[in-house]
Structure formats: structure tokens, C-alpha cells
A = this chain, B = another copy of it.
């Protein structure tokens, strides 16, 4: 079960300057219909992620089972859309202790920070490790850098047997990984051509690691199907979760000047869900001067860090709380506490967590800060499937509201090109010239 409580974004709760009028939502009625029609025509193209809940997962499960049998460690080499989805699924569905006394242990090599790379190496035995190299393009710098070092380590240790320690998840036709994988008879899994990194969690990119860790990926897809049905078919805005979510954020942004979208789960298991959302929201909608800046916060921790700002700083935020009703584990505060702290007696940690959320929400209402709450009755693969698909559809739909393309990321290329130039890559000689023209260290303060 998922519940979206959007009471506290509405004008009758927080006033018209910060809050939304029912009329402001209904105003979009015809436009919504038009967009839904456009999206229907794109379900096999740019909106191909809408097909993913209906896929056959047998190959993924077969590969996952082999990995579970043969290996003690599973390392994902990938970055951004190639790693955040898998990490999010595993943390939310296997819990914070997913690596404690369990097999296979899961690690990620995403960054080119040598210390992070080293820290992962220290925790695995390479001869018992399966490396899943994930890159849509097949040539992501960080991924290939990490891969090439691992490749050498494996060759040095295992000789020809290195080939059995890799699985490549990449474009079905193009790119270096596809070619190299074919040449070397490496197990290959496809990322459908139309699906970009940040929408790829329900492809083998997210599903293989999830299945390797023992997550019920069919149940996950069942949740996504439920949400797909509601989001694409339901015409009443008030009953359509994705369109409602999209409109609330869009109206808050363009009419109420909420340029920041904070997501604040009161569940540490969902903290990586926010990192996944951050990419989805920022990279899809942050273009042509549009888009909100997604901000991560964690309850209750950030009550002690950010709530002062959220309540009394600039009124540029809309906040989404994520709440979980039932916890698998809980701890009760003992009875017979000293008088000063006796009010805690008999309550449980999870109960305090959710009461703090209630207190925080209400304090925000008093300050007229719009906030909505998405409640899961429990963290289950079905609910997470619903939740992530809700955000995918809402993001795609929002692109159409802003009239921008939610599936490209043109502004990312420039930095990559300068990096290639600095690495001495062939064909980037002119970029290097441009770099030298642009790069200056003119204003500098040095302290020794």
C-alpha cells in the first residue's frame, strides 16, 4: 500500500502564496489529456521504460542463480544511472545490514577515487568475486578505468579463467563493452536501446544485482505494473498518482517559486532512494533554465541540521517526506527511567521516529512550507516497485509539462570532452586548445 497525503501543499492549509489551489490543478485537465496521448505514442520509443514492468525475467534470474551458486562477492562496476538503481533496490529491500554475515556480499566501484577502489578490494577475495560491469555506452570513463584495473588483477591471478568472473550489462548493439564481451565470450545482458541510465533500474542494470542479492524481482515488477496502469490509464487527476505528483511539483515550481525539491525519508533504508531520485529529477528536468534542484535529507537526522533553514530561510522548497508505517525490527524504550526522561518510557524507536515526522510536518505547516508525505505500509518489493515507477512516470510526464526533453542530458558532454582532451585522447586536440584558453588561475589565495 502507498498513500500520498498532499494536504499540506494545498492553499487551504498554507495559504495561496505558498500553497496550491484546487483550481490550479484542474486548470491542467485538458493539457494532461493531450500529454497522456503523446506519451501513449511514445511507449515503444522514448517512454520505453513503461514496457519494462512487462518483461520476461527468466534470463536475469538464471544468471543471478549461477552467480549465487559460484561466488561469495558481487561487485558492480558502474556509475550514476548504472549503479544508483541497484544500490537503492538492495539497500531498501535487503536492509542496512545487507552485507552482514550474508553471501554474496555486494559492493560498488563507481568513482575513480583510488581510496574507494582500494577499500572495496580490501573487502573481497578476487577469486571468489563476480564483477558486473555496467555501462550503456560501453565506454564511461570511470567504469572503464575501474574495469581495466580489475581485468589485470584477474588475469594475473586466474589466467584464462578471468572470463568467467565478468558479466557485462550494456547496449544491445554498440560500444566497447559489447564488442570486447563478444570477442571474449563474456556473459552479456542488454540495456534496451531506448532506455537511458537513469530510467534503467528495471532493466538488468538494477534487476540483476537485485536478483543476485535474493530480491523478488517479479514482485518488484508487479508493483511497477500496478503503478503503470494507474499512471497511464487513470483520467481523474486526483486519482492518478504520477500526474498528481508531477503537477504538484510543477505548479509549486513555476507558480509558487519552489525551486528546490527536498526528499526526506524517515527510514534510513530509503536513503539511497533519494540519491536515485536526485539523478532522475535533476538530469531529466534540469535544462533550458527549468527544473528544480533535488535535495537529499534524512529524518530525523536533518531535523538537527536543515529544519531551521527549511522553516525560517528562503521559502523556495517543497518537501516530500517518505514514511514507513511498520518496521520489521523495533526496540522498546525501557520502563522505570529517571523522571526527566520518563516521558519516553514504553514508546518504541519506530514510534518516536514517526512522531517526530508528525511534529516536523506540523511545524512546517505553521511556517507555510509546502510538504507532502508518501507512506508505505511496509518496505516490500511490491511497494518499492510502485514507488520507483511512480517517480519515473512523474518525471517523464513533468518533462512534457515543462516542454523539454526529459530523456536527454546535453549539458553533460562538455565536461567529458574537456576531460578526454586533458587525458590526451586522439581527436580532442581542439578541445585542449579551448581548455587552455578558458582555464585560468588568476585569483588565488595560498596558505602554507
Contacts and interface: CB of A to CB of B under 8 A. Distances in A.
A159 interface: no
A293 B278 contact: no
B114 A100 contact: no
A230 B238 CA distance: 59
Contact of A96 (B119, B238, B412): B119
Q: Which of A180, A309, A425 has the most CB of B within 10 A?
A: A309
Describe A's contact surface by its main secondary structure.
helix
A445 to B, nearest CB: 5
A111 B331 contact: no
A5 B441 contact: yes
Q: What 9 pairs across the A-B complex have the smallest Cβ distances?
A: A80-B304, A286-B309, A286-B313, A359-B418, A359-B419, A363-B415, A279-B305, A343-B425, A363-B414
Contacts of A122: 97, 100
Interface in A266-306: 266-269, 275, 278-279, 282-283, 285-291, 293, 295-296, 298, 300-301, 303-306
Interface string A1-39: 111111100101100000000000000000000000000
A97 B238 CA distance: 49
B7 A268 contact: no
A341 B144 contact: yes
Interface residues of A, number: 154
Contact of A306 (B278, B290, B305, B332): B278
A313 B305 CA distance: 26
Contacts of A365: 438-439
A114 to B, nearest CB: 4
Contacts of A59: none
A344 interface: yes
A329 B96 contact: no
Contacts of A289: 312-315
A423 B118 contact: no
A311 interface: yes
Nearest to A20: B443
Interface stretch (A68-76, A145-153, A209-217): A145-153
A284 to B, nearest CB: 8
A122 B343 CA distance: 28
A312 B288 contact: yes
A429 interface: no
Given A6-B445, A356-B415, A415-B360, A115 B96 contact: yes
Nearest to A78: B304
Interface in A317-360: 317, 327-334, 337-338, 340-341, 343-344, 347-350, 352-353, 355-356, 358-360
A159 to B, nearest CB: 16
A123 interface: yes
B115 A7 contact: no
